A = this chain, B = another copy of it.
């Protein structure tokens, strides 16, 4: 049997920010509770960004506060909030976040479009946040996520050297963990392996997580490539919702249901219950019936031959 894998459900953040319809706050709360009940160990509940920029996230403070203390089969999930800056980090901690994640684009074009800063300016912001967090009574882990690490729909090819420079900068800035994000879904498995190896050689186990999109149909294969390289934490989204408002052409995140099926089939325990995961999917679909919903496992059901990881 393989090692356990931590799946973070990012639907309430990455999924909903691209949805054509806005999900009501009460529906978000019900959905997040259902995700917790399914046993997801981490849930990214929203982002502390200006409401005029991403109106779908305007209620993040209320959603996060309502989610604090949610139970679950393993003591309840870690509630993650995306924050672009120190002010956001302060708001997230005040509202009860158990972890914060800060986007840092590797490509200049995406960085400008997403947060109107250069990568270096955003690395400096991560340093400010990490320092501030260390001074808190109850600090929570600070993650930095390298967006567009595998290509950018604005700038095109993103050189591996640029990824290494940003990852090393974030490690030096004091980020507790680092994620690599295929924001636009351009990665292929060979590139995932090459990049994970190089970044791990540079910053070691601080590289923790992959965030993958299925734009080109390679999302789950890219997750496998990361798994082969020892990655044991992945972001995904129920129903494969998602994208990036500043990454033209990007499509949904990898599908939680299919990812968890692959992991469990391969002997990697996730702690996630399929029946309850499908209930959470049903809540999403009922709340946003016009939103396209993806995933093969929910359509086919579990195979007769399926056995959970131990």
Q: Which residues of A pack against B, CB within 8 Å?
A: 2, 151-153, 156-158, 184-186, 188-191, 214-218, 220-221, 223-225, 228, 249, 251, 255, 257-258, 261-262, 265-267, 295-297, 299-301, 303-306
Contacts and interface: CB of A to CB of B under 8 A. Distances in A.
Contact of A216 (B2, B157, B251, B300): B300
Contacts of A188: 262, 265-266
Nearest to A296: B217
19 contacts: A151-B303, A151-B304, A151-B305, A153-B304, A156-B304, A156-B305, A157-B305, A186-B306, A188-B262, A188-B265, A188-B266, A216-B258, A217-B255, A217-B262, A218-B258, A218-B265, A220-B221, A249-B300, A251-B299
How many identical chains are in the complex? 2
Contacts of A190: 2, 265-267
Given A189-B266, A190-B266, A224-B189, A217 B261 contact: yes
Given A224-B189, A224-B225, A225-B224, A262 B218 contact: yes
A214 B219 CA distance: 14
Contact of A218 (B189, B214, B261, B305): B261
A276 to B, nearest CB: 19
A52 B223 CA distance: 44
Which of A151, A189, A303 has its CB near the most chain B CB atoms (within 10 A)?
A303
3 A-B pairs closest in CB distance: A217-B296, A217-B258, A188-B265
Given A218-B296, A228-B228, 4 more contacts: A151-B304, A157-B304, A215-B300, A251-B296
A278 to B, nearest CB: 14
Contacts of A258: 216-218
Nearest to A251: B300
Contacts of A304: 151-153, 156-157, 186
Contacts of A300: 185, 215-216, 249, 251
B266 A216 contact: no
Nearest to A228: B228
Q: Which of A186, A217, A220 counts the most chain B CB atoms within 10 A?
A: A217
Contacts of A299: 251
A186 B153 CA distance: 35
Contacts of A301: 249
A149 to B, nearest CB: 12
A82 to B, nearest CB: 24
A270 to B, nearest CB: 14
A215 B302 CA distance: 10
A52 to B, nearest CB: 29
